[in-house]
Structure 1
Amino acid sequence: MVGVRELKGGWTSRMRRLDIAPANSNDNNDNGGGGEGYALVLRSFVKPFYRRHAPGLLAREAGVLRLLESGSIPAARLRAVDAAGEHCEHPSLVMTHLPGSVRVREDGDVARRTVLLARQLAAVHAVAVPEQERPRTWQAWTSPERVQIPATTKRPLLWHRAVEAIDRDAPPHRACFLHRDYHPGNVLFTGNGEHLAVSGVVDWVETSWGPADLDVAHCATTLALLHGVPAGMAFPDAYEQAGGTLAAGEEHLYWRLLDALAFAPDAEKVATPWRELGRTDLGTPVLTGRLEDYLQALFDRYA
């Protein structure tokens, strides 16, 4: 190992790139071939909460990476896992390094990235998984009693209406393979303009089995916070144009609200890594305002 570099943009874990010196020319490995250096990525769970849950999270990610090895999804390949932290300072997983970078800036590629994100997610949902290898059943990330309404809101009725809309049993749905934390921060891109392309999908620790609407909702909320409400509203349309299938009307609204309300009151959990990636414009007032506007847009379209 000849170099270590911190990778920005993560929140739940510490990510580092490990640069490996060229191997002996007689060695054969699929990391880069004989005589070529290569890079790996080390994910370590350092924060106490995630360290406690690391055995399940890392074991799940390791299993998913193995599952995806033979398919067309651009995911990293597993190299080693120490889910309980028995050999490493922290519970950790090592995987191959994927080309590309996270793109969250405001630029001329936002619309194109949205389309590519939707196409890639439709491909993820189409992954065939044998019943015995299916990941865990999806879990909600909020509930009516856990939603934190912004103290500064001037639209309390909007928030209460949104909370009431998720105070019900989940709608019936057809389950599929979910990334479960699919958003621009977990997708890598190469190129620009007409050469823009998805080069990798990362962070498979939350992978689940559930409704496609939930993955779509999560990415749509994130796009609304990053780039404004129109971007968030456009994503599900792009997903359906890519061949994906979503619920209609109030059933789809349920999944969108369930995800959006998990970001309340101010989306600060995701804002910190976004600012590290250059989005210093995303202060609390901006994010809270966008989240409120997004809730209103959802009711206007689907209620």
Structure 2
Amino acid sequence: MTNRDEAAAVRPLTRAWVSRQLEAGERIVGTEALHGGITAEVRRLSIGTRDGGTRDLVLRAFVDPLYVERAEDWLNREARALTLLAGTAVPAPVLVAVDPTAAHCDYPSLLMTHLPGRTVLDDAGLETRVPLLARQLVAIHALRPTERPQAYQALTTADTVVVPEGADVTAWAAAIDVIREPAPSDEERFLHRDFHPGNVLFDVPPSRPDDARITGVVDWAAASWGPADLDVAHCSTNLALLHGPAWAQRFAEAYEEAGGVLAAAASERLYWRVRDALAFSEDLQSAARAWREAGRTELTTRAVEERLDTYVTTLMGAPDRGGAEGP
């Protein structure tokens, strides 16, 4: 597909709206679909500048009817988060414009700057990347905004959990019982709320993988105020499904080694890890598809179901009910 054809893939009203956000003499000269997201269509836009060069922007558009009804909330929340993050040490995109109700675009949309780097979901190099992820999350949690984002949401209930076929029903029943209890009351802080390897960009020198560094954190549509354990649990579940349960525990350890503070009681840490793991059961197909599009072709829905069962069983079978041993 040529750049011209790709540019045409930006829908007419949205294209006109983007063009109004550009500097005089600039225009869209190409687009590229960015894979890995679940709820939104994401494209990199190449912008031709007046001096003959190019710069990149990123367009997020909610086109799936399943998610459009929540797009206004998500886009407003992301716009507020990006505004808050401007000028901080957290490497986040800069907000350019937002149209949360599709008043001007074909679909609810947000335009922001493009960050360098790429997502890395491979097993190789995890020993280096996990501590980097942990330190980055500690830095996010250290932010103290003057205006707090809205309170976190954890929508999964004991009645909405989907037990995978062939799963350890005893372990899953015990896990479901865990989330029947009231949520622990822990100190709350600024959360990304969807922090995981797919939303973190890395620069990994091919000849020096140990020199990997984080260049950006993206997708702030769920930014919230809540317990740090919730963010840690979410990244832990992703690592467990991508790389195995041991990496979930290693991430929690790395978070504390970096200065992060988790709930003091093992039962409270378990609550958040179990709640996040069970939340994945409700839409594993979407997560598996996003990972396959990002290059992990072996992660079929069935393979991810089996990994989730292993993780839940590991959580419920650990001696202190707090997680598996590290790698």
TM-score by length of 1: 0.92
Q: Does 1:168 align with 2:181?
A: yes
Question: What's the CA shift string for 1:2-40, capped at 9, x where partnerless?
Answer: 11111111110000111011225xxxxxxxxxx642100
Q: Which residue of 2 aligns with 1:4?
A: 31
Q: Which residue of 2 aligns with 1:20?
A: 47
Candidates 77, 84, 88, aligned match of 2:101: 84
Instruction: Provide the rounded CA distance (Å) in 1 between the counterparts of 2:238 and 2:283.
Output: 12
Q: Which residue of 1 aligns with 2:198?
A: 185
Kindly indicate whether the alpha-carbon contact (under 8 Å) linking 2:289 and 2:300 is maintained by their aligned counterparts in 1. Answer: no
Kindly indicate whether the alpha-carbon contact (under 8 Å) linking 2:164 and 2:309 is maintained by their aligned counterparts in 1. Answer: no
TM-superposed deviation, 1:288: 1.9
TM-superposed deviation, 1:48: 1.0
Candidates 115, 131, 134, aligned match of 1:118: 134
Q: Which residue of 1 aligns with 2:238?
A: 222
Q: Which residue of 2 aligns with 1:275?
A: 292
Q: Which residue of 2 aligns with 1:29?
A: none
Instruction: Provide the rounded CA distance (Å) in 1 between the counterparts of 2:165 and 2:175.
Output: 16
Instruction: Provide the rounded CA distance (Å) in 1 between the counterparts of 2:91 and 2:282.
Output: 34
Change (3 A) 1:61 1:167: same
Kindly indicate whether the alpha-carbon contact (under 8 Å) linking 2:172 and 2:313 is maintained by their aligned counterparts in 1. Answer: no
Instruction: Provide the rounded CA distance (Å) in 2 between the counterparts of 1:204 and 1:265.
Output: 22
| One-letter amino acid matched to 2:194 | D
Kindly indicate whether the alpha-carbon contact (under 8 Å) linking 2:190 and 2:224 is maintained by their aligned counterparts in 1. Answer: yes
Question: What's the CA shift string for 1:206-248, capped at 9, x where partnerless?
Answer: 0110000000000000000000111112110000001000013
Question: What's the CA shift string for 1:178-220, capped at 9, x where partnerless?
Answer: 0000000100000241220000000000011000000000000
Q: Which runs of 5+ in 2 are unaligned?
A: 1-27, 322-327
Candidates 57, 73, 94, aligned match of 2:111: 94
TM-superposed deviation, 1:292: 1.7
More displaced stretch, 278-287 vs 93-102 = 278-287
Change (3 A) 1:255 1:70: same
Q: Which residue of 1 aligns with 2:164?
A: 150
| One-letter amino acid matched to 1:231 | W
What is the number of residues matched between the two proteins? 289
Kindly indicate whether the alpha-carbon contact (under 8 Å) linking 1:175 and 1:209 is maintained by their aligned counterparts in 2. Answer: yes
Instruction: Provide the rounded CA distance (Å) in 2 between the counterparts of 1:284 and 1:36.
Output: 43
Kindly indicate whether the alpha-carbon contact (under 8 Å) linking 1:4 and 1:17 is maintained by their aligned counterparts in 2. Answer: yes
Percent of residue pairs bearing the same amino acid type:
47
Question: What's the CA shift string for 1:61-89, capped at 9, x where partnerless?
Answer: 01110100010100000001111001111
Q: Secondary structure at the match of 2:159?
A: helix
Q: Secondary structure at the match of 2:162?
A: coil
